[in-house]
Amino acid sequence: MQSKKDSEQRIKKIIEILKKTYPNAHCELNFENPLQLLVATILSARCTDKQVNIVTEQLFKKYKTAANYANANLEEFEKDIKRIGMYKTKARAIQSACKKVVERFNGEVPRTMEELTSLDGVGRKTANVVLGNAFGINAGIVVDTHVVRLSQRLGLTKEKDPEKIEADLMRLVPKDQWTMFSHWIIWHGRRRCYARNPDCENCEIKELCPSAFEFCKIAKPKNGKK
């Protein structure tokens, strides 16, 4: 089992390589302000960013303030996001969250983890997305399905619960890189370390990955090298 110091050194190397590999890594949800990012992130649960961006292109033209969402006719709002999975649940969550934004925060999206997670439909993942990308605040690390998968494959955690995974990563990753770390990992998960048959042969960090070639269809080299 690696010591904390060894793990920190390994993650430092992982970060250096991913930073060079994905120099333009960023949040792939389209947004122009914190409210738009909050709405888009709630919509993105179990849905691709590409699909969310298609819906929000028109949605953000129609609803410009938290009050617009809060006072919207629910059935009409549901129709506006109908192509998104679980659209009825998400419509209610967004409307309820925006009502609290109006009532408690004067219509402005709050800037703390505690305040954001007090909103309906907002957990640590969504709050971290908003804080890190809309406000530049490193309050935690976004743990989505890609981060769960890669952090386990890379041996950075043995946990399965997202909040416990986040806690493990926060102990290893320098705080000033928390937001970007999730971007680099997510981009690598989408472009190389797929859930099924990851591209281990061409993986930029295979030398640092204890699971290299374990999940892909290409056999591990006979000489043991990854």
Pick the catalytic residue: 80, 90, 125, 206?
A: 125
In our burial notation (b when 16+ CB lie closer than 10 A, e otherwise), range 115-131 reads bbeebebbebbbbbbbb
- Integer Cα distance of 58 and 40 in angstroms: 12
Alpha carbon distances (Å) from 104 to 96, 118, 165, 203 = 12, 10, 31, 47
Pick the catalytic residue: 12, 19, 49, 144?
A: 144
Q: Respond yes or no: is residue 12 known to be catalytic.
A: no
Q: Respond yes or no: is residue 125 known to be catalytic.
A: yes
Radius of gyration of the chain from Cα atoms? 19
> Which residues 6+ apart lie within 8 Å of 95 measured at CB?
69, 70, 72, 74, 77
Query: Please, are residues 32 and 196 in contact by the beta-carbon 8 Å criterion?
Result: no
> What amino acid positions are annotated as catalytic residues?
125, 144
